[in-house]
Structure formats: structure tokens, C-alpha cells
Amino acid sequence: MMTWVTGFSIAVTLGAYVLSRAVARRHPSPLTTPVFFSTVLTILVLSSSGVGVADYEPAQRIMVFLLGPATVSLAVPLYKSRRTLLTNTLPALAGLAIGSLATLSAAVLLARLLGLPSVIRASISIKSVTAPIAIELAPIIDGSPTLTAAFVIATGMIGAMLGPWLMNATGIHDPLARGLALGTVSHGQGTAQAVVEGELQGAAAGIAMGLTAVFTSVVAPVLVPLLG
């Protein structure tokens, strides 16, 4: 049974998304990235109409139902661009491994330098791992699954917003490298942004997202306690 709150929540979220795509087409900027723009708009409308965090949960469950099949369908662009990925296996694997280590170490060391408590340091270390596995990885390294989920989502947004601009500024033009960097750091949201750039970028991001999750799951339990 769908309540009116759930129906309203879905309508607001869908409406915000449709609007964000129209706005992004006319005024492309980091602030009009569909995920960021729609999230802010949806939160504002829900809060001002008295829909609480718990009231939104059934709507959330309905809307993310297709996220699984959408992730599975990433195999199609991956298959289409298999030749490019196979000829670049070494640069791709090395890039995502070095990038994963860099972002994990930078997060833990910086969090320590800024005096954040240890539960936040552990939870923030795995923020580049795709949400379903990060949540399971968090307790193993003494982090909080809830905090980790928040940091994973925020990192997805930050990477999707700043990534393309940052890569233009640092001269990263190779489509494989761009997709790889977005997927390594910003998992699914980075992959969604990479898909906007092109099919190869999307495919590279998809495989980077998956392999980063595997790589970080193996490395984090050893590295995070070492870095403190």
C-alpha cells in the first residue's frame, strides 16, 4: 500500500530530477549537477512540507529498486568497449590501485591532522567504496556503517561535481583515465557523471568502481589501523 506521503515524496524527487536535467542543459555548472541540484531541491520541498526523514524511507526503497539492474546493465557499455579496456589493462589496474591508496591515505591522515575522532577517521577512510560494500566493510575497521554511508554519498557528490573541472585543470584528457579516476574515487555517482562524458568513460568508471571496492576491502583492514 502506497501512502500519500510516499506518493508525494516520489513525485517531488522525480520532479526535481526532471527539472535538474533541464537546468543542467541550459546552465551547465557543478551546482547544476543533477544529483546535487535535485537533492537540495528535494530536501527543501520535503522539509518545508513537513515530510520527515523516516516518512521518506518507503519512497526511497521504491525508487532505488532499479539501481541493481541499472548497475548490472553497465556490462553493456563495458562489453562494447572491451578492446580499449583490454589493451589498457595495466594502466587501468595500476591507476585505480595507486588512486585508491592515495585517497584512502589522504583521508585518514587529514582527518587525524584536523582532530576528528577515531570512529570518523575509520568511517571516512573507505568513502570511495561503493555503498553496499562500504557498509559491510565499516565494522571490520571499527567504523560506523551509518557514518560511512553518509561519507560515501558525499564523496560521490564531491567527485561528480569537482572531478571534471579538476581533471581539465590538471590536463587529464585521456577518456579512459578520466572515467577511471571518477569511478575509483566517486563510485556510482562518479560513474553516472562519467557516462555523461561518453561511453568509454562510463565503462572505465564502472570497472574502476567494482575493482576499487574489491581492492579497498582487502587493503583497508591492514592499512587503516597503521595510519591510525
Partner 1 sequence: MAAGPGIGFAFPFETMNALIAIVVQVAALLAINQAGYTAAAALRLPVPGNLLGMLFLLALLATGLVPLRWMESSSSVLIRHLAFFFIPITVGLRGFAELFVDNGPAILVTLIVSASVGICVAGLSSQRLAARQARRTP
Binding-residue total with partner 1 (CB under 8 A): 108
Q: Does 172 bind partner 1 (CB under 8 A)?
A: yes
Angle at 35 (CA atoms; ends 50, 31), nearest 5 degrees:
100
CA distances from 29 to 15, 21, 169 (A): 20, 12, 15
Distance, in Å, from the CA atom of 203 to the CA atom of 165, rounded to the nearest integer, reads 20
Interaction between residue 85 and partner 1 (CB under 8 A): no
Cβ nearer to partner 1, comparing 107 with 224: 107
Site for partner 1 in 95-124 (CB under 8 A): 95-96, 98-100, 102-104, 106-107, 110-111, 114-116, 120, 124
| Cβ 4 to partner 1 shortest distance, Å | 18
Tallying the residues shown for the chain, one arrives at 228
Q: Which is nearer to partner 1, 82 or 225 (CB)?
A: 82
What residues numbered 152-171 form the site for partner 1, per CB under 8 A? 153-159, 162-163, 166-167, 170
Query: How many CB atoms neighbour CB 116 within 10 A?
Result: 14
Minimum CB–partner distance for residue 1 and partner 1 (Å)? 19
Residue 220 makes CB contacts below 8 A (sequence gap 6+) with 104, 125, 126, 137, 140, 141
Q: Which is nearer to partner 1, 143 or 163 (CB)?
A: 163
Told to check if 73 binds partner 1 by CB under 8 A, we report: yes
Q: Give min distance, CB of 58 to partner 1, in A.
A: 11
Distance from C-alpha of 131 to C-alpha of 213, rounded to nearest angstrom: 9
Q: Does residue number 143 form part of the binding site for partner 1 (CB under 8 A)?
A: no
16 lies in the binding site for partner 1 (CB under 8 A): yes
> Is-contact 196 168, C-beta < 8 A?
no
